[in-house]
Amino acid sequence: MFFLSAVILFPLLGGLALLFFPREQVRAIRMTALGLALIELLLVLGLDLAYLQNSVSLFSSSFLHESWRWFPDLGINYSLGMDGISLVLVSLTALLTAICIGASFRIESKVKNYMAFMLLFESGMLGVFLASNLFLFYIFWEVMLIPAYFLLGTWGGERRIYAAFKFVIYTSVGSFLMLVGIIAIGYYHQLAAVAAGGTSCGYTLELSQLLNTSATCHGVLDGTTQLWLLLAFAAAFAVKVPLIPFHSWLPDAYSEAPAPVTALLAGAMSKTGVYGFLRLCIPLFPQAIHTLAPYINVLAVVGILYCAVLALMQTDLKRLLGYSSISHLGVIMLGLFSFTAQGMTGSVLQMVNHGITTAVLFLIAGFLEYRTGTRRLQDYGGLAARIPWLAVMMFIAALSSLGLPGLNSFTGEFLSLLGAFRANVTLGVLGTLVVVPAAWYMLRFFIGLMWGVPATEGAVSANLRKGGIRDLSLGELGVIIPLIILIFYIGVQPAVLTGIIDPSVANTMQVLSSAFVK
Amino acid sequence: MTNLSLWVLLLPLLGFIILGLAGRFMPRTAILAVGWGACGLAFLCAAISFFSMLATPAAQRTSDQVVYHWISAGTFSLDFGLLLDPLSMTMLLVVTGVGLLIHIYSAGYMADDPSFWRFFAYLNFFIFAMVMLVIANNFLFLLVGWGLVGLASYLLIGFWYQRRSAVAAAQKAFVINVIGDFGLMLAIFLIFQGAGRLDYAGVLTHTFPAATATAIALLLFVACAAKSAQLPLYMWLPDAMEGPTPVSALIHAATMVTAGVYLVARAYPLFEQSPAALAVVAGIGGATALFAATIALFQLDIKRVLAYSTISQLGYMFMAEGVHNYSAGIFHLVTHAFFKALLFLGAGAVIHALAGEQDMRKMGGLWGRLRVTGLTFLIASLAISGIIPFAGFWSKDEILGSVLAYGNQTGNVWYYILWAIGILTAGMTAFYMFRLFFGIFAGDYRGASVAVNDNTNGDVEEQEAAAAGHHHAGPVRYNSIHDVAPVMSIPLIILAILSVIGGFIGSMALFGLPNWSPLANFLPAAMHNHAAEGSLTLEWISTGLSLLAGVLGIGMAWRLYGKGFAFKQNSNPLYQLVFHKYYVDEILNAVLIIPVLALSRTLSRYLEGDVLDGGSRGISTLFRGTSTFMRRVQTGYMRNYALGILLGVVVIIVYYAVRG
C-alpha cells in the first residue's frame, strides 16, 4: 500500500505542480495551495481514522507500513512506518501547514515559490515523522531545511539574511554530525552482530533491524560506542529543539521569518528535534542515554528558567514568543527524559499542545504587525477596546501558553512535570517553578498590547489615529478558530490524545525495560 | 438524595458562554435575565440538593459521582467527578447564595457601565469556577477550579482595563496566585507519588509517611496562603480593591479568598497527619490576623480598610483550623461571607452615592442621607466586632474558645499567646470598624469643602480613560446625595438579616444544640472534629474577654471619632511604619521584582547578545579569516604547487628518517 507515501508526497508533488501556474495568477495560486493543504489534511484525517480502526505498532507489517529496496547493499531502504506518536505529530503538522498557508494570503511577492516551499516543508516534516530507515530519515531531515532556509531568507524581515545564515549553519553542523553517526551506527552494529555470532550479517540502516533484539543479526553496541554515536545524533536534535546553549539561531529566525512561517517553525519543526530524541536516541542507545540524560535534563531546566526570565524583558513581540517557546520546549524535554510513562506521554501531548498554542500566538503577532507595521512592545497598548475579538483570541492563547488549568497546555505540562518530579524531585520542582515567570511574562505581553491606554507616539498610535487598526477579518478568524477550539477541546478531553499516545510510548520504551517507570 | 450539583456547575458556565458570545448585542434586560437566571437557578439547584441532603441520614450524606474519564498515562488515570457532602454543600450555598445577591446588586451598581454585559459574563464565569473548585472530587480538578477562580479574579480586578492601577493590580493578583498554584501542583505530585491516585476518596484515607505528610500539608498551605491572602502572600488583596466593589464583595471577601480555608477543611485528614503543619497553619493565621488588623487601623480608603479586615478575619479561620476545629473555621467563613459582603456592598453604596469617592476624609455625616445603607452597615459592623447576638459573635467565640481549650489541653504556651492575639485582634477589629463607621456616617459632611491631598492617582489620561467606570468625578453636594435604589438595597437588607441571625442558627446547626434536629451537627458530623473540648469556665473566660475587647474597641472609636473623623498627620515613626503598610510593597519591589527584571535585561544584552550571538559571529569571522588566508595559497601558478609538493615530500621523509 502507498498510504504513507501518498501522505508524504502529495504536498511535494502539489508544490511542484504549483510551479507551472502563471506567475500573475496570484489568487489561483493561493487558493490552489490552500486546497492542496486541505486535501492533505483530509488524507491525514483518513490516516487518523485508519490508525484508530486498526491500532498498529511501528514495525508491524500492516498497510500502514511500507518498505521498498533502494540500495540494499548499503542498508538503505525506502521504509516508512508509524505509531501513535507519529500519528499525532503528523496530524499536527498537516493541520498547522493548512492553517499557515491560509494565513499567508498577505504574502505578495513570489507567491508561487512561497507556496511551493511551504508544501515542500510539509513533506519534509511528514517524512521525518514517518521514516523508519535512518538514511531516509536523514534525507527528509535535510529536505526540511531547504524550504525553511528560503522561506526565512526570502520573505523575512529586515535582518532575514543574517537570520537565515545563522539558522542554516547551526542546523547543518548538527545534521552533518548526525550523518556521520548514521554511517557509523550501521558499521558498528554490523561489527557487534558478527561478534555476537551472526556470520552473514550485512550493513543495515533499517530501524526495524537495528532495534530488533530477537533477530539473529542483532548486536549490542558497547557503552562507549553508544555514547559517541548518541552525541552525534543528539547534536542535530539539540539544535532543532533547541536545547540551550544551541538556541542562538532561534530568536533571530523566529523574529525575522514571516509570521506564518514562524508559526510553522515553532509549531511543527521544533517537534522534529524532540521526535528524534524519542524515536532514535532513546531506543538506539538505551545504555548511553542514561549517561547523557542527566545533562540533558539539567540543560532543559536551565533553559526553562533562563528563557522564561529572558522573556520578561523582551521588547520585540516575536522574540518574546521565541524565548517563551524555548522555555516550553524545555518542559517537553524534561518530561521526555524523565523516563516515566507520565512524563513521556505528557511530553508528546505537550508537543501537540505547544504546536497549537504557539502557532496561534505567532499568527496573532503577525496580524498585529500587519496592522501596525511594528513589533516593538512599547509602541502598543490599550488595543482591547479597538479590536476586542483579536484581544480575546490572543488572551485565550496567552492563557493556554501560561498553563491555565482547564486549557490544553496544562494537561501536557502537568503530565511532563509530574513525570519529571517522579524521576528527580529537584529537577521537577525547578521545572515546575516556571509557571510563575510564565504567568508574569505572558500577562505582561497581553497587558502591554491590549490593556491600559494606547501609546501616544509610535507607529501604533499613528495607525490608530488614521483608523487603520481593525478587528479580525473573517479570513483571520477562519484560520484562528480551529486552533482555539482545539485549545479548549484538548484541555477538557485530553484522554482522546493520551489514549493514542500512551500505548505507543509504552511500546517504544520497552527497550528501557525496568528503567521505564510506569 | 437529590443531587443537582452538576447543574450548579453547568448553569453558570452556560450563562457565561451566552453572555460572552452574544452579550455585546443583547439589551440590558436580556443580559440580566441570563446573568441572574444562571446564578439564580444554580442557587435553586443547590438549595434543593441541600434540603434533600438534610432529609438524608447523616451517614449517607456523601455522594461521589464520576462524570467522565479525563486523562491517562501509565499508572496515572483520572476521572472528573463531583463530590457532594456537607462541606461542599455549605460552600455551594454560600457561593451561589451570596453570589446571587451580588448579581442582583450589581444590576444597580454597574447600571451606567458600557461593558455591562461583560461584567455579568465574568460574574457567571466566576460562579462556575468557584463551584468547580468546591465540587471537584479530586485534587487535580481542585487545581482547575483554583486556576479558573484566579482568572475570574484577574478579569474582574482588571475590569476597567484602561486604568493603569487596575491593570497592575490584576497582574499582581494573578502572579501571586500562581505561586500558590505552584505549591498546589507540587503537593499534587507528592500525593500521587505517595498514594498513586488523586481522588479525595482514595487520598484522604491514605496514610503517608510523616515527612511526606508534612511536606504535602505545607505545600497545600502555600496555595491556601496565596489564595486566602495570608502572610507572606497577602499583598495582592488590598490592591485587588481596584475592581468594581461588587467584585470585592463577592470574590475578595465572601467566596474566592475563603478557598484556602475550604482546602484545609477538605484535606483535613492530611493535616491531621502532620501536627507540625497544623501548627504552621495556626501560627500564620494568628500572625496574619494581628498584622492585617494593625494596618487596617490607619487606612483612609474605605475599601482598603475592609480588605485588610478580610485578611485579618481569614487569619481567624486558619487559627481555628490549626487547632483541629475545622468546622469552626468553616462556620466563621459562612458568617464572614454574610457580614463582609454586606460591608463591601454598603461601602459600594456609599461610593456610588458619592460618585466614586473612596477616601474617608471626604465623607462624614452620611447617616442623615443614607439610612438603609447606614443601618445595615451598622449591623455588619456589630457582627464583625463580635457583639452578641450578631453572627460574628458566635463564630469568633467558637474559634477563640477552641484555641484556649487547645492550649489548656496541650499545655503549650504558644496557644495561650495565640489566644491572646485573637482577643487583641478582636478589640482592634471593633476599633477600626467603628472608626470606619463613624468616619462615613457620623459628624459633618466633609466632601464638598475640604481639599485634601489626593492619594489616588490624578493622571489626566487615567481620568479620561475611567470616565466610563466608577472613578472619582469630583465632590458631590450633600443635599444631592441619595440612598440607593431597591435593586441595591434589597441585597443589603437580606444580608443584614443573615448577619443578625446567621450565627445563631449556624451555632445551632454546627454544635448540635438539642431540638434542632435537621440541622444538628451538619458539619462536624461530616468532619469528625478533633477539636479540644474546654471546660465551661474556660469558655466563659474566652467569651467574656472577647466581648469586653469588642466593647472597648467600639468605645475607643466612639471617643476618638464619634463626633466625626478628623485626619491628623502623625510623625511618630511607628505610626508611619504601620500607615505605610510596613513598606512591604516597597521592599518586595526592591528585593525581588527590580532585581529579576534587571537580571532579565542584563542576560538579554550580555549573555544572549555578546556571548552567544557574539560567539557565533566570532566563529564565522574565524572561518572567514582562515579561508581568506588559505585563498592566498591558491595562486594558480604550477611552480608554487610543485614547490608545495616537494616540501611535503621532504617533511614526510624527514619524519620517517627521524622516527627510524
What are the pLDDT digits (tens) for B113-128? 889 999 999 999 999 9
| Residue of chain A nearest B150, judged by CA positions | A404
B633, pLDDT greater than 60: yes
Q: Is residue A452 part of a domain?
A: yes
Any idea which residue has 542514561 for its cell? Answer: A290
Peptide bond into B389 cis (omega under 30): yes
Q: Is residue A277 part of a domain?
A: no
Chain B hits for A382, Cβ within 8 Å = 162, 465
One-letter amino acid of A473 = S
| Residue of chain A nearest B179, judged by CA positions | A436
Q: How far apart (Å, rounded) are the C-alpha atoms in residues B545 and B386?
A: 11
The bridge status of strand A76-80 relative to strand B63-73 is unpaired
B451, pLDDT greater than 70: no
pLDDT value for B414: 93
More confident residue, B573 or B350: B350
Chain B hits for A450, Cβ within 8 Å = 161
Q: Is residue A443 part of a domain?
A: yes
One-letter amino acid of A279 = R
Cell of B387: 457583639
What is the dihedral sign for C-alpha A494, A495, A498, A499? negative
Upper half-sphere CA count for residue A180 (Cβ side, 13 Å): 14
B464, pLDDT greater than 50: no
Q: How far apart (Å, rounded) are the C-alpha atoms in residues B469 and B114?
A: 8
Q: Do A312 and B162 touch (CB under 8 A)?
A: no
CA distances from A285 to A226, A511, B565 (A): 6, 9, 78
SS3 B68: strand
SS3 A396: helix
Contacts of B271 (CB under 8 A, 6+ apart): B217, B220, B264, B277, B278, B281, B321
B516, pLDDT greater than 90: no
pLDDT value for B199: 93
Count up the domains in chain A and report the number: 1
Who among B73, B596, B615 is closest to A346 (CB)?
A: B73
Q: Single out the residue of B313, B368, B315, B320 nearest to residue B341, CA to CA.
A: B313
pLDDT value for B527: 66
pLDDT digits (tens, 9 = 90+) for B275-301: 999 999 999 999 999 999 999 998 889
Who among A170, A384, A498 is closest to B73 (CB)?
A: A498
Neighbours of B122 (CB within 10 A): 26
- Nearest-10 Cα torsion for B389, B395, B401, B405: 150
pLDDT band, very low/low/confident/very high, at B463 (cuts 50, 70, 90): very low
DSSP assignments along B102-154, one per residue: HHHHHHHHTTT-TTHHHHHHHHHHHHHHHHHHHHBSBHHHHHHHHHHHHHHHH
Q: What interhelical angle do A288-312 and A425-432 show, nearest 10?
A: 20
**Cα angle vertex A404, ends A403, A405, to 5°?**
110
B450, pLDDT greater than 50: no
Who among B70, B158, B600 is closest to A495 (CB)?
A: B70
Q: Do A453 and B174 touch (CB under 8 A)?
A: no
Mean pLDDT of the region B151-172:
93
pLDDT band, very low/low/confident/very high, at B508 (cuts 50, 70, 90): low
Who among B74, B179, B612 is closest to A518 (CB)?
A: B74
pLDDT band, very low/low/confident/very high, at B365 (cuts 50, 70, 90): confident
Q: Do B73 and A436 touch (CB under 8 A)?
A: no
Furthest C-alpha separation in chain A: 80
Q: How far apart (Å, rounded) are the C-alpha atoms in residues B13 and A335?
A: 33
Who among B71, B162, B604 is closest to A382 (CB)?
A: B162
Chain A hits for B612, Cβ within 8 Å = 245, 247-248
The alpha-carbon gap from A360 to the nearest alpha carbon of chain B, in Å, equals 20
Chain B hits for A404, Cβ within 8 Å = 147-148, 151
Residues of chain A with pLDDT under 50: none
A vs B: CB pairs below 8 A: 146
Q: Do A309 and B620 touch (CB under 8 A)?
A: no
SS3 B77: strand
pLDDT value for A114: 94
State whether residue A446 sits within 8 Å of chain B by CB: no
The bridge status of strand B76-84 relative to strand B63-73 is antiparallel
Who among A435, A440, A517 is closest to B182 (CB)?
A: A435
Q: Do B620 and A432 touch (CB under 8 A)?
A: no
pLDDT value for B530: 64
CA distances from B561 to B235, B441, B547 (A): 29, 10, 21
pLDDT value for B333: 93
CA distances from A386 to A236, A252, A383, A465, B162 (A): 45, 31, 5, 11, 12
Cell of B96: 451561589
Q: Do B175 and A436 touch (CB under 8 A)?
A: yes
The alpha-carbon gap from B404 to the nearest alpha carbon of chain A, in Å, equals 38
Who among B185, B461, B604 is closest to A432 (CB)?
A: B185
State whether residue A302 sits within 8 Å of chain B by CB: no
pLDDT value for B231: 87
pLDDT value for B519: 57
The alpha-carbon gap from B130 to the nearest alpha carbon of chain A, in Å, equals 13
Q: Single out the residue of A308, A351, A343 nearest to residue A424, CA to CA.
A: A343
Upper half-sphere CA count for residue B109 (Cβ side, 13 Å): 32
Q: Which residues of A181-195 are buried (b: 16+ CB within 10 A; e: fewer)?
A: bbbebbebbbebbee
pLDDT band, very low/low/confident/very high, at B328 (cuts 50, 70, 90): confident
| Residue of chain B nearest A443, judged by CA positions | B171
Who among B74, B148, B182 is closest to A406 (CB)?
A: B148
Q: Identify from B16, B71, B122, B193 which residue to disrupt to test chain A contact, counting A C-beta atoms within 10 A and taking the largest count.
A: B71
Predicted ipTM of the assembly:
0.93
Backbone angles phi, psi at A376, to 5 degrees: -75, 125
State whether residue A411 sits within 8 Å of chain B by CB: yes
Q: Is residue A165 part of a domain?
A: no
Q: How far apart (Å, rounded) are the C-alpha atoms in residues B569 and B551?
A: 27
State whether residue A498 sits within 8 Å of chain B by CB: yes
| Residue of chain B nearest A441, judged by CA positions | B175
Among A362-366, A497-501, B38-42, B521-525, name the one with the lowest average pLDDT: B521-525
B520, pLDDT greater than 70: no
Q: Single out the residue of A443, A384, A407, A103 nearest to residue A261, CA to CA.
A: A103
Q: Do B616 and A170 touch (CB under 8 A)?
A: yes
State whether residue A517 sits within 8 Å of chain B by CB: yes
Among A161-165, A315-319, B222-226, B445-449, name the one with the lowest average pLDDT: B445-449
Q: Do A345 and B164 touch (CB under 8 A)?
A: no
Q: How far apart (Å, rounded) are the C-alpha atoms in residues A445 and B172?
A: 14
Mean pLDDT of the region B144-148:
96
| Residue of chain B nearest A341, judged by CA positions | B74
**Cα angle vertex B392, ends B388, B398, to 5°?**
90
Who among A248, A404, A447 is closest to B167 (CB)?
A: A447
Q: Do A313 and B604 touch (CB under 8 A)?
A: yes
Chain B hits for A345, Cβ within 8 Å = 73-74
Helix (H) or strand (E) holding B618: helix B614-631
What residues does A405 pair with on adjacent strands? A407
Answer yes or no: are the C-beta atoms of A3 and A64 closer than 8 Å. Answer: yes
Peptide bond into B244 cis (omega under 30): no
pLDDT value for B481: 82
Domain range for A462 is: 306-518
